[in-house]
Chains A and B, each alone.
Chain A
Amino acid sequence: MPLLRQFSTTYIRSKSIIVASIIVAVLSLMPCFAHLFIIRVSIRALIYAIFAMSWDLLYGYAGLISFGHALFFGLGAYTCAILNTLFDLPPWGCILIAPCISTLAGLIISIPCLRLKEAYLALGTLAFAEIVRYLAIHFRELTGAEEGIRGIQVFSENILFNYYLYLIITLVCTTMLLLVVKSSFGLKLIAIREDEELSKACGINTSKYKISAFLLSSFIAGMSGGLYAHFTGIVEASIFSSTVSFMAVSMTIIGGLGTIIGPIVGSYLITFISEILRATLDIRLLVYSLTLVLVLLFIPEGIIARVRRLYRVGREK
C-alpha cells in the first residue's frame, strides 16, 4: 500500500479518550489558579514533552536509538534564533522553517545510520551531534560561539497567550503522533523494531520506513527546538550537548517507552523537579539523574506502562 494511505485508519479506545479529555481539560484550566512560576515551568515541560515524544517515535516504535537527538532540537532552535535576530523574521515564520532544516539534517543522518546497529547507532548519532556542537562553536559570526545568540523574540508578551499556544501545539503534535503510531505505518515500524529481517521477508521496505521515522522524528524535534528558542530567548552551543539528548531519553524512559504519552508525563515530572530544585542548589542534574537511575532499576518499563498494567489495559485479552 502506498505510504500515505497507511495513515488513514487508526484505532483508539474509548476509555483512553475519556482520560485524555480530562487531562486536556486540567491543562487548559490550570492557568486560572496557578502561580506565574508554574505556568512558566509548564511551558518548558511542554517544549521538552514534544522533544521527548519525537525521540519515543524513533526508539519506542522503530527501535532506532539516538543519543544525539539534541542535534535536531538544537538545529531547530538555532534556525529560529538566526532567522529572528539576523534576518528579523517574526517567530511565526521562523517556526515554520526550523522543522524543515532539522528534517533535512534528519535525512542526511538517517542514510549512514541505516547501516548502524544498536550501540553503533547510539554513539554514531552522538558523534553527529557533537560534530554540530563543535561547528556551532566554530562559526562565531553566525552563531555567536559559546555565548550563543540572545534576544530572540517570544511569540507574545502575554504569558497566557504563550501557554495556550504551546499547549495547542503540543496537543496537535501528540494527536498527530498517536495517529501515526496506531496506523499501518506505525505497525510496520514496530515490526521493524521486533525483527528487521523478518520484516523484510514480509515485504516491508525497511530502509524506507526507517528513513521516514527519522524524518518525522527530526521534524518534530526541530519544531520543539524552535519553540524553545522563542520562549527562553537564548540559544547556546550547549544545546547540542549529550545532556540535552539525554533529557529526551530519560523523559521517555521514565514516562514509558513506546507510548507517546509517556514522554509527556516524564517531561512534566523531570521539568518540575528540576525547576523547583533550581531555586535551592544547583543539584538539578544530580536529582534528575538519580531519579532516572532509580526508575531504570525499579520501573524499567516506565510509569505509563506500570499504570496500564495496574488497570489491565492492553492489547492482549
Chain B
Amino acid sequence: MKVLEVKGISKSFGGLIAVNDVSFHVLEKEILGVIGPNGAGKTTLFNLITGFLKPDRGTINFRGIELTRLRPHQIAQLGIVRTFQLVKSFPNMTVFENVLISSLSNRNIHSREQAEKKAIEVLKLLGLLNLKDRLSKNLSHGELKRLEIARALSMDPRLLLLDEPLAGLSYDEMNDILNIIQELRELGISIIIIEHTIRVLMKIVDRVIVMHYGKKIADGPPEEIVSNRKVIEAYLGE
C-alpha cells in the first residue's frame, strides 16, 4: 500500500530549479533511500513534503490526504515527522523537555501525564533516559542525533523523514542508529533517509532513488542502483 505518493513536484528559486518534476512513492514499512551529489535537491524535497516550502507544481499525497495545502505543524501532526540536516534541538531545554514538546503535539495524546509518559518511553527506547535532565546544548553530537530521533518518535510517526541521520557519527554510533531504524520499520513506520555514506545506507534500504540537479535519475533496489551508469556518471562527473 502506498503511504506517500509524490507526483510531478517542481520548485524553483528565482532562476534556479531546485527540484524538477520529481515523482516517486513510498510503501508501508518500506525504507527508501535518497542519494545524490550535493545540491541535488534532496533537502529541498524534504522541505516540500513537510510543508516548509510550497511546490510550484505537483501533488504530494499521504494516505489520501493532499499535503501541499497544509502547513508544517499540521503535516507533523498527521504523522509525517522530519529531522534536520544540521541537527537541531532546543538548546536551553532539557532532553526530557525537548521530547515532551513533541509528544504534547502528538495527535494521540490528550493530557500532560500521557505526554510525559510517552516522552519517558521514547527516551528509554533511545537509551537517553539517564540524560533526561541535561540541557540539550550540553549533549554530544551522537546524543543529539539520538535525541532528534526520540523527538520524532514521540509524535507517533507513520512516515519518518531522516535527513543525514548518520552524519558525523562514529562507526558504533552509526550501527546503533541503523538498528533503531530497522526496529522502527518493524513498528510499521515508513522511512525515507537522505544520506551521503552510501555504503552503510545500502545495507538497510529496500529501495533507492537518486537525484541529480533536481531530477530523479534512478529508482530501484540498491543492487541495481550501484551498477547504474547514469548514477555513476552523476557522482564521477561532480
Point out residues on A near B: beta carbons under 8 Å. Answer: 1, 5-6, 8-9, 184, 187-188, 190-191, 194-195, 197-206, 315-317
A224 to chain B, nearest CB (A): 28
B109 at interface by CB-CB < 8 Å: yes
Among candidates A191, A200, A202, A205, residue contacting B155 with C-beta atoms closer than 8 Å: A202
Majority DSSP secondary structure for residues of A touching B:
helix
B112 touches A9 (CB 8 A): yes
* A5-B111 in contact given A200-B72, A203-B73 (Cβ < 8 Å): yes
B68 part of interface (Cβ distance < 8 Å):
no
Residue B100 is within 8 A (CB to CB) of chain A in the complex: yes
B residues near A (Cβ < 8 Å) are 50, 52, 71-74, 76-77, 81-82, 84, 88-94, 97, 100-102, 104-106, 109-113, 115, 133-135, 151, 155
Complex: A198 Cα to B76 Cα, angstroms: 11
CA distance A202 to B109 in the complex (A): 14
A317-B105 CB under 8 A given contacts A187-B100, A197-B52, A198-B84: no
Distance in angstroms between the alpha carbons of A9 and B84 in the assembled complex:
31
For the complex, what is the distance from the CA of A217 to the CA of B108, rounded to whole Å? 31
Verify A315–B133 contact, CB threshold 8 A. Answer: yes
Most buried by A among B73, B93, B106, B113: B73
In the complex, are the beta carbons of B133 and A202 less than 8 A apart? no
Q: Assess the B91–A187 pair: CB atoms within 8 A.
A: no
Question: For B73, what are the chain A residues with a Cβ–Cβ distance below 8 Å?
Answer: 199-206
Q: Give the chain B neighbours of A200 by CB distance below 8 A.
A: 52, 71-73, 76
Residues of B within 8 A of A199 (CB): 73, 101
Within 8 Å by CB of A195, from B90, B134, B155, lies B90
Cβ-defined contact, A198 with B89, below 8 A: yes
Interface residue from A1, A190, A201 paired with B109 (Cβ < 8 Å): A1
Asked if residues B90 and A198 are in contact (CB atoms below 8 Å), the reply is yes
Please measure, in the bound complex, the distance between the C-alpha atom of A188 and the C-alpha atom of B90, giving whole angstroms: 11
Query: Chain B's nearest CB lies how many Å from the CB of A111?
Result: 16
Chain A residue with Cβ nearest B100: A187
Residues of A within 8 A of B82 (CB): 201
Q: Which residues of A contact B133 (CB under 8 A)?
A: 315-317
Query: Quick one: given A187-B100, A198-B84, are A203 and B91 in contact (CB under 8 Å)?
Result: no
Q: List 5 contacting pairs A-B, 8 Å CB cutoff, sorted by A.
A: A200-B72, A201-B52, A203-B102, A316-B134, A317-B133
**Contact of B97 with A187 in the complex, beta carbons under 8 Å:** yes
Bound-state Cα–Cα, A315 to B133, Å = 7
Given A203-B106, A206-B73, A315-B94: A197 touches B88 (CB 8 Å cut-off): yes
| Additional pairs, 20, CB under 8 Å, beyond known A1-B110, A187-B100, A199-B73 | A1-B111, A5-B110, A6-B112, A9-B113, A187-B93, A187-B104, A194-B93, A195-B88, A198-B84, A198-B89, A200-B73, A201-B52, A202-B101, A203-B73, A203-B76, A203-B105, A205-B73, A205-B74, A206-B73, A316-B133
Do A190 and B111 touch across chains, with their CB atoms under 8 A apart?
no
In the complex, chain B residues whose CB is within 8 Å of the CB of A8: 112
Nearest chain B residue, comparing its CB with the CB of A8: B112
A256 nearest CB across to chain B (Å)? 15
Contact A204–B88 (Cβ < 8 Å): no
* A9–chain B nearest beta-carbon distance, Å: 4
Of the candidates A9, A188, A201, the one whose C-beta lies within 8 Å of that of B72 is: A201
B101 and A191 within 8 A (CB)? yes
Contact yes or no, B101 A316, CB < 8 A = no
User: Are A191's CB and B93's CB within 8 A?
Assistant: yes
Shortest Cβ distance from residue A181 to the other chain B in the assembled complex, whole angstroms? 13
Contact, CB under 8 Å: B101 / A201: no
Q: Using Cβ atoms and an 8 Å threshold, which residues of chain B touch A206?
A: 73
B104 pairs with A184, CB closer than 8 A: yes
Tell which of B92, B106, B113 touches A194, judged by Cβ atoms closer than 8 Å.
Answer: B92
A-B CB proximity, top 10 nearest: A203-B105, A203-B76, A200-B72, A194-B90, A9-B112, A202-B102, A203-B77, A198-B88, A205-B73, A191-B101
Residues in chain B near residue A188, CB distance under 8 A? 101, 104
A17–B126 Cα distance when bound, in Å, is 36
- A44–B172 Cα distance when bound, in Å, is 62
A154-B188 Cα distance, complex, nearest whole Å:
67
- Complex interface: chain A residues within 8 A of B84 (CB): 198, 201
> Which residues of chain A have C-beta atoms less than 8 A from B76's C-beta?
200-203
A315 nearest CB neighbor, chain B only: B94
CA distance A49 to B204 in the complex (A): 59
Chain A residues closer than 8 Å to B90, beta-carbon distance: 190-191, 194-195, 198
Give every chain B residue within 8 A of A198 (Cβ-Cβ).
Answer: 84, 88-90
Q: Are A187 and B101 touching (Cβ within 8 A)?
A: yes
Please, which residue of chain A has its CB at the minimum distance from the CB of B92?
A194
Query: Cα distance A201–B71 when bound, in Å?
Result: 10
- Whole-angstrom distance from the CB of B109 to the nearest CB of chain A? 7
By beta carbon, the residue of chain A nearest B78 is: A203
Chain A residues, Cβ within 8 Å of B77: 203
Q: Which of B94, B113, B115 is within 8 Å of A316, CB to CB?
A: B94
Partner of A202, one of B71, B92, B94, B105: B105
Q: Give the distance in Å from the alpha carbon of A202 to the alpha carbon of B102 in the complex.
A: 5
